[in-house]
Amino acid sequence: MTLRYARVMPQKLRDDYLKAVDQLEKDVLLPTLPYESKNLPLAELLQELLGRLSSQALEPGADKKRYGVLIRRTKRLKTELATLN
């Protein structure tokens, strides 16, 4: 049985993960940012995006779990961006 599980390739796991993430992103309506926001620094844009995602997650019928995933990803991106500056 162990040998059967050992045959699971990391590439297959990665592909399955990316497919699941892609499906998740298709199912969640992403907020758009106003045109004026394009002149803001990236950190401020991400903060605005976080606010919009958070407010959409609170709407009735919103898939809170999926919005939570996007919010966590955006927070990680914001943190990583801060380490570059």
Q: Residue 72: which pLDDT band, with cuts at 50, 70 and 90?
A: very high
More confident position, 16 or 63: 63
**Which of 1, 84, 66 lies closest to 29 in space, CA to CA?**
66
Q: Which two tokens stand for residue 70?
A: 């996007």
List CB contacts of 8: < 8 A, sequence separation 6 or more: none
More confident position, 78 or 36: 78
In the three-class reduction of DSSP (H, G, I as helix; E, B as strand; rest coil), residue 2 is classed as helix
Q: Residue 1: which pLDDT band, with cuts at 50, 70 and 90?
A: very low
